[in-house]
Amino acid sequence: MRKTFLKWLFVFVATAFALTFAISFLLQTRQARENAIQLIRLRISDAKRQLFATEENLKRVSEMTNAMALIKARSFARFIEQSPGLIGSREKLQQIRALLDVDELHVSDPTGILIASIPAEYQGYDMGSAAQSAAFLPALSDPAFALVQEPQHKGINNEMFQYAGVARIDQPGIVQIGYHPRRLMEAARLADIRNIAASFRIGTNGAIIICQKNQIISNGGANLSKIDLIAARVNQESLLEQGVFTAVVRDQEFLGVAEKFQGHWILGLLPKNEMYLSRNSVVGVLIAVDLLLFALVFVLVSFLVQKIVINGIYRVNSALEKITCGDLEEKVQVTNTDEFKALSEGINATVAALKNAIKETAARIDAELQFAHAIQVSGLPDPNPVFADAVPFSLAASMKTAREVGGDFYDYLLIDDDHLWFMVADVAGKGIPAALFMMTSKTLLHNLAEKGLPPKEIFEQGNREICARNEAGMFVTAWMGILELSSGRLDCANAGHNPPVLLHADGRSEFLKVPPGLVLGGMENSKYRSISLSLQPGDRIILYTDGVPEAQNCNGEFFAEERLLQTLAKHRPAALTPQQLLLEINQAVSCFADGAQQADDITLLAVAFNGQPKQHLTLPAEPEQLQNLQEFLERHLVQAGVSAKIRSQLQLAAEEVFINIARYAYPGQAGEARISLQILPPPGSKIIMQFSDRGLPWNPLEKATPDLNLPADQRPIGGLGIVLVRKIMDDCQYQYQDNQNILTLSKDLPAE
């Protein structure tokens, strides 16, 4: 009752909070939008005022510039009137030009031909030859003529220039000055409407934009390029005429306001995330206040209900909860009223009867489970089998069920003298149903393996038969492999199972990743993939079920696959038998669990490959190939952990034999040399190198040993290399077979 009441009280308070928040949010959103529109309109008004002010300034600067130009032109005319002779003096003209602070001075005769000019190249120029200079020709007939031209590009070099001219006072003619209108051009640049928007920004990333005839002529803002704005279509009349609109610029949403001014559209854009900054801050405060208020209401109401509602109901429910969780020793002892006293006695009597029934049933089930466990174990092969000494492998298995019977199983089979089949599987579920499904699946897969099928076909045929009989809807994960004992080749397949650990002979460990297919029993037509790899002598494969990585300790932590690798990395694989490897893993899992109850079956299978496939290399019988031979030997000898001293000895022996083959086996023709390397593990560790060629028959072991007591100049050439080889190697044998010279060299390895 208390939980139900609190639940509904919480629903009511939460609904009220949500409604209050929604209303506040909507009002603040509306107010934030109105404030943003007002802010944008204010910035647009500032832009208008700035535009108007710059235009007025430009007008005043232009008037002042023109007036000053006329004053300078009239002053120049007055200088000529008072001193006509200065027209012929370039030095005096230069002084007047500097005094007037202009760039050019020109004086024409009554026909409009320049008779004095600075610069000098204009002298002799006909003022009527171009429209720009012809505008001053009326000065020839009008003594009151005065003209200041607007800045324009000069016809000679196309630079921006401004001319002012008046009529000569002393006689008909034209007096003209020219100058670069820098101040006027700077004022015009500042007044240009295209430069106005860049000086305005709305908020942090907002901007003022000016458009004319669907063209953006000016824009500001830190992150808004003209290309982005055109892509967002903010320059379209149909959008601007709305006055207030929304635009998306480069995946960011903006609020826009547009106004028309002097034939232009001035619009302002403000990012909506900035527009709602004030709203978000206010809403944040409202949320904090509302949460505090509604939490206070909830706590006060719940406290009053708890004090008012009868405590006896809560105590009875608490005791019943313990009983339903399995604590049958719990007693209900609520005796504050006759009703609760009668209820407590009835519950206690019922629990006592239930305990007796459970005890009797448990005894019967234990007996049945023990019998089922014995049947299940009898169906599994020997966990520590003993094979003949000649087989190049050994294996061991272990299985610890979480209950008396489980769903894990392992199996192996020596199909023939050269092939070992092995697998580990895990049935989904536990107890009697999983055990029965396990026995059926194991028998089926074992029978298919006896037929010599590859892993892929065993899974596909087995899956079809399991699906056909799977009325309970159960499934099984499995991993299997077939090991070719003569070569170390392993063919394997995975049906949704954990990847096994491949423990290399040199101590490296890795998970053997096989493309996982669907679990067996999932879909009738499932396809599976096989992969092949080569095992080296001393390699171990450890198969396991998910009870290993999913084992938990009292803190709920998992053992995990990484910890499995760390456990195996403590020892070199060759130092441990499969039985010892499994013991190490089981002890590591047990120590990690530290008394926590086992939740899942733990099944392990370890297979050790003790054989040694040969490594082969075929080279042209040429002395230049010696380096390739040396690299081949060094790579495999280092991988096998052979000491540097023995590697050096073997390299020296191999060099002597190979050079002999390269020089003498194929006189006058090309040929090949084949080298094989085999490293046998303990016991009886040794290295076997075999050299074969199809050259001239020649037994180097029959060559007479040179007399080392003779002086060097008296001994016959050759033979010392073979002596060195015999001294280095522990056994040397030669045979000529199948038209091949075969020289076999053996070197015993010292015990570690």
pLDDT at 366: 61
If you average pLDDT over residues 269-277, what whole number do you get?
81
Distance CA 196, CA 198 (A): 6
pLDDT band at 1 (very low <50, low <70, confident <90, very high): low
Q: Say which CATH superfamily domain 58-188 falls into.
A: PAS domain (3.30.450.20)
DSSP notation for 289-339: HHHHHHHHHHHHHHHHHHHHS-HHHHHHHHHHHHHHTT-TT------SSHH
Task: Please say if the pLDDT value at position 574 is more than 70.
Answer: no
pLDDT at 681: 64
Dihedral angle, C-alpha 353, 357, 359, 364, nearest 10 °: 170
Distance CA 740, CA 18 (A): 93
If you average pLDDT over residues 563-570, what whole number do you get?
85
Amino acid at 138: P
Task: Please say if the pLDDT value at position 578 is more than 80.
Answer: yes
pLDDT band at 304 (very low <50, low <70, confident <90, very high): low
pLDDT at 717: 47
pLDDT tens per residue, range 600-617? 889 999 999 877 657 889
The first and second tokens of residue 536, run together, are 């080296």
Which position has the higher pLDDT, 451 or 191?
451
Q: Which CATH class is domain 384-609?
A: alpha beta
- Cβ neighbors of 487 (< 8 A, separation 6 or more) are 534, 613
- Cβ neighbors of 101 (< 8 A, separation 6 or more) are 72, 179
pLDDT tens per residue, range 83-139? 888 888 889 989 998 998 888 899 999 999 999 999 888 888 898 888 888 899 999
pLDDT at 714: 44
Sheet with 393-400, edge to edge strand ranges: 393-400, 602-609, 540-544, 501-503, 509-511
The first and second tokens of residue 259, run together, are 């106004």
Q: Supply the pTM of this predicted model.
A: 0.42
Task: Please say if the pLDDT value at position 511 is more than 60.
Answer: yes
If you average pLDDT over residues 200-213, what whole number do you get?
79
Amino acid at 508: R
In this structure, the strands spanning 408-416 and 419-427 are antiparallel
CB contact burial 475-486 (16+ within 10 A = b; e otherwise): bbbbbbbbbbbe
pLDDT band at 263 (very low <50, low <70, confident <90, very high): confident
pLDDT at 741: 94
Task: Please say if the pLDDT value at position 341 is more than 90.
Answer: no
If you average pLDDT over residues 711-723, what whole number do you get?
58
If you average pLDDT over residues 321-349, what whole number do you get?
76
Which position has the higher pLDDT, 37 or 378?
37
pLDDT band at 227 (very low <50, low <70, confident <90, very high): confident
pLDDT tens per residue, range 663-675? 999 998 999 999 9
In this structure, the strands spanning 672-680 and 393-400 are unpaired
Distance CA 424, CA 398 (A): 11
Which position has the higher pLDDT, 174 or 572?
174
pLDDT at 459: 94
The first and second tokens of residue 735, run together, are 């045979």
Domain range summary for the chain, segments of one domain joined by +: 58-188, 312-378, 384-609, 615-748
Omega before residue 683 within 30° of 0, cis: yes
Amino acid at 61: V
Q: What are phi and psi of 548, to 5 degrees?
A: -75, -60
- Cβ neighbors of 363 (< 8 A, separation 6 or more) are none
pLDDT at 712: 43
Q: Are 503 and 541 in contact (CB under 8 A)?
A: yes
pLDDT at 710: 47
373 DSSP 8-state letter: H
pLDDT band at 706 (very low <50, low <70, confident <90, very high): low
Q: What are phi and psi of 708, to 5 degrees?
A: -75, -10
Q: For the chain, give the percent of residues with pLDDT over 70.
A: 87
pLDDT at 385: 87
Q: Are 243 and 255 in contact (CB under 8 A)?
A: no
Q: Are 578 and 540 in contact (CB under 8 A)?
A: yes
If you average pLDDT over residues 444-467, what whole number do you get?
94
Distance CA 334, CA 317 (A): 11
Q: Is 261 exposed, middle or buried (0-12, 13-18, 19+ CB in 10 A)?
A: middle
Grouping H, G, I as helix, E, B as strand and the rest as coil, residue 558 is: strand
CB contact burial 643-655 (16+ within 10 A = b; e otherwise): eeebbebbbebbb
End-to-end CA distance of the chain: 75
If you average pLDDT over residues 24-29, what whole number do you get?
83
Q: Which fold has domain 615-748?
A: Heat Shock Protein 90 (3.30.565)
If you average pLDDT over residues 47-66, what whole number do you get?
79
Q: Are 224 and 202 in contact (CB under 8 A)?
A: no
Task: Please say if the pLDDT value at position 310 is more than 70.
Answer: no
- Average pLDDT over the chain reads 83
